[in-house]
Structure 1
Amino acid sequence: MKFSEILSKLADINLSHSLINYPDCDPDLESVEAIEYAANKQLSYIEGAKFARHIHTTNASALILPPDPSLQSTANQRGIAWIASQQPRLLFAQVIALFYQPCQPTPHIHPTAIIDPSAAIGKDTYIGAYAVIGAKVKLGNGTQVYPHVTIYPQVEIGEQTILHANCTIHERSRIGANCIIHSGAVIGAEGFGFVPTAEGWYKMQQSGYTILEDGVEIGCNSTVDRPAVGETRIRRNTKLDNLVHIAHGCDIGENCAMAAQVGLAGGVRIGKRVILAGQVGIANDVKIGDGAIATAQTGITGNVKAGAVVSGSPAVSNKLYRKVSAIYKRLPEIYQIFRQLKQNN
């Protein structure tokens, strides 16, 4: 694909971008690659000072650059075609889509799929080998159900949603349109609800619902539990990485992102645009405000205000955490000073 062709297609989908290109060369491009490894006939991007140094050594034939005149001048000197954007990484993601799209199966129902006669199957649906679809399930138009998926009775799944191989959707679950559920994920399984008695643990039936709104993506081997009453809800366009656990009764706002091994206890309330880095843990019934960020391995036991950035366990402000971390490695030295002062007194 010619660089000029890419520019033309980007102009169609990036009306909000300010795009500038270096028109004196129009290389053929075959693929995309990270800036450190890019070779001839590949396109890459630079975002942030950490990667800017690669402008001097990269073998890429074309680059997406920030609006930095020095980077653009170097690209000109090296004969590298370029395009500039305020959001190079976003533009790079859109270029990737020009070179690669996930496989799209031809709509059909595999003869080994087991489908209850009462299930309502939408148009242009793909149902793979050995998938099991229970009674009164509703599948929207264009859904993709890959091999060995199990959908329990009365589940509703919206249009264009993709259920990858070996995921399981339990009863009393509703999944919106344009969602992606990756392999091994379990949606709507019984929450961890037991009442202590003199004889042991009495099982509380989980009669609530699990709701995933439009555009939600659930990573491999992640779990979203069904509550005893009420609902567990993940709101529009929120993204979960692999190995994330959402306990019963949680409510997660729109456009949130959770990295691998995040764990939410029951009843957690999370606002919009919240980011939880890897291995963050949140205790029962905690409320997290809009736009808050928790860095990796943060343990949150109390409410977090909107826009706050927290770290550590138990969680404190990220600014305080960084100060404490800087002091931590000096504690033996500080202790010796303190001990000497005490002896002198």
Structure 2
Amino acid sequence: MRFSEIVEQLGIAEASSLESQPDLNPDIVGVTAVQDSQPGTLSYVEGQKFAPYIEQTANTALILPMDESLQTQATERGIAWVSTPEPRLGFARAIALFYQPFQLPPGIHPSAIIDPTATIGKNVAIGPYAVIHAGATIGNDVCIHPQVVVYPQAHIGNSTTLHASCVIHERAQIGAHCVIHAGAVIGSEGFGFVPTAQGWEKMHQSGIVILEEHVEIGCNTAIDRPAVGETRIGRNSKLDNLVHVAHNCELADNCILAAQVGLAGGVELESLVVLGGQVGVANNTKIGKGAQAGSKAGLHSSVSPGSIMMGIPASPYRTYLKSSAIYNRLPEMHRTLKQLQKQVAQLEEQLSQVQQTDQ
């Protein structure tokens, strides 16, 4: 693919080497990282701190930020370039020009088990040993990979992909254009037990899970249904591998949860919340719009919109940095405290002796 074709298809160019060097229009055969470059490929640079890579790269073309010095640097090396305010976004879109994830061809594999009461849309691909239970609805252009199980009355929206061995439990509603990765479980029973004199009694989970449009769920992630009501994942939210979302949680649109995040029951995330790896959120906690929590943060109370939280228990970012600095000095401070306590004891003894002498 010619570089000019890529620039045209991306539709991101605010400046380009094609303007001053229209003959510098190489063939591009793929994409690579700038630090692991190959001739004939396209990569990107985000800012001045990556400028040394331009001197070393073997890339034939680069996506650059709006930085004249980087543009000049690339031009002097004979590298074709296009500039945009968001080079990483441009590169993400460029990857899609050269790579498409594997999808099964349309058709139903003879080993798939489909209940006659299930509704199957047009242009659907259903792989080997998939199981579609009674009353399930599969939309148009859905791709169901091998050994997927769709329980009764579940709904799968148009153009959604279910990867191998994921499970969609009864009555779960999956929106259009979602991606559920291998081993994920949507709509599993919430963790509900009532204490009695004889022990724990199970509370059946009659609610549902709803995934809105364009949601992506990572491998081996579990999203539980509640006893009553719903657990909801908002539009365009993305959950990494091994995330646990408990019963009655509600995520608004465009939330990002990294690997091993755990949300206890009834947690509410407003839009654009970002939770780093292994963040834990306690029951019925509300996280405000655009708030962020760093890896391993423990959120035990509500978080204001736009906050950045760190630590266990979590505190505001700047407070956490100050506390961390003090924490590292605790052994030294403990020794100093011991010395001060000893000195105070000695002074008290001396004062007592002086008082006795005066008497």
Q: TM-score range with shorter-chain normalisation?
A: over 0.9
How far apart are residue 319 of structure 1 and its match? 1.1
Aligned to 2:188: 189
**Contact between 2:48 and 2:70, CA under 8 Å: does it hold in 1?**
no
Task: Give structure 1 stretches of 5+ with no counterpart.
Answer: none
AA matched with 1:138: T
Aligned to 2:334: 335
AA matched with 2:6: I
How far apart are residue 98 of structure 1 and its match? 0.6
Aligned to 2:64: 65
AA matched with 2:185: V
Distance (whole Å) between structure 1 residues aligned to residue 110 and residue 341 of structure 2: 82
How far apart are residue 71 of structure 1 and its match? 1.1
Aligned to 2:258: 259
Aligned to 1:155: 154
Q: How does 1:1-345 map to 2 (within 5 A)?
A: 1-11=1-11, 14=12, 18-22=14-18, 23-24=20-21, 25-345=24-344
Task: Give structure 2 stretches of 5+ with no counterpart.
Answer: 345-359
Listed one character per residue, the Cα deviations across residues 288-314 of structure 1 (whole Å, up to 9, x for unaligned) are 011000011101000001110000010
How far apart are residue 2 of structure 1 and its match? 1.6
Listed one character per residue, the Cα deviations across residues 250-282 of structure 1 (whole Å, up to 9, x for unaligned) are 000100000000000001011000000100000
How far apart are residue 342 of structure 1 and its match? 4.2
Distance (whole Å) between structure 2 residues aligned to residue 277 and residue 210 of structure 1: 23
Distance (whole Å) between structure 2 residues aligned to residue 69 and residue 271 of structure 1: 39
Listed one character per residue, the Cα deviations across residues 25-72 of structure 1 (whole Å, up to 9, x for unaligned) are 222211111111112111111114443331221111111111111111
**Contact between 2:245 and 2:264, CA under 8 Å: does it hold in 1?**
yes
Matched position secondary structure for 2:66: coil
Distance (whole Å) between structure 2 residues aligned to residue 48 and residue 263 of structure 1: 34
Runs of 4+ in 1 over 6 A off after TM superposition: none
Listed one character per residue, the Cα deviations across residues 127-172 of structure 1 (whole Å, up to 9, x for unaligned) are 1111000001111111111110000001011100110110000102
Distance (whole Å) between structure 1 residues aligned to residue 67 and residue 321 of structure 2: 31
Distance (whole Å) between structure 2 residues aligned to residue 337 and residue 126 of structure 1: 70
Matched position secondary structure for 2:35: coil
**Contact between 2:163 and 2:180, CA under 8 Å: does it hold in 1?**
yes
Matched position secondary structure for 2:194: strand
Distance (whole Å) between structure 2 residues aligned to residue 267 and residue 49 of structure 1: 44
How far apart are residue 5 of structure 1 and its match? 1.6
How far apart are residue 198 of structure 1 and its match? 1.2
How many equivalent residue pairs?
Answer: 341
**Between Structure 1 and Structure 2, whose CA radius of gyration is higher?**
2
**Contact between 1:185 and 1:219, CA under 8 Å: does it hold in 2?**
yes
How far apart are residue 341 of structure 1 and its match? 4.1
**Contact between 2:17 and 2:75, CA under 8 Å: does it hold in 1?**
no
**Contact between 1:20 and 1:85, CA under 8 Å: does it hold in 2?**
no
How far apart are residue 117 of structure 1 and its match? 0.4
Matched position secondary structure for 2:224: strand
- Root-mean-square deviation over aligned CA pairs: 1.4
How far apart are residue 328 of structure 1 and its match? 2.4
AA matched with 1:91: G
CA separation of 1:111/1:86 partners in 2, compared to 1, >3 Å: closer, same or farther?
A: same
CA separation of 1:329/1:48 partners in 2, compared to 1, >3 Å: closer, same or farther?
A: farther
AA matched with 1:273: L
Distance (whole Å) between structure 1 residues aligned to residue 14 and residue 270 of structure 2: 31
Sequence identity of aligned pairs in percent?
A: 55
**Contact between 1:2 and 1:29, CA under 8 Å: does it hold in 2?**
yes
Higher mean C-alpha deviation, range 2-11 or range 312-321:
2-11
Matched position secondary structure for 1:187: strand
Listed one character per residue, the Cα deviations across residues 100-148 of structure 1 (whole Å, up to 9, x for unaligned) are 1112332101111100000010011111111000001111111111110
Please give the TM-score of this superposition, normalised by the length of structure 2.
0.92
More helix by share: 2
Distance (whole Å) between structure 2 residues aligned to residue 272 and residue 49 of structure 1: 32
How far apart are residue 201 of structure 1 and its match? 0.7
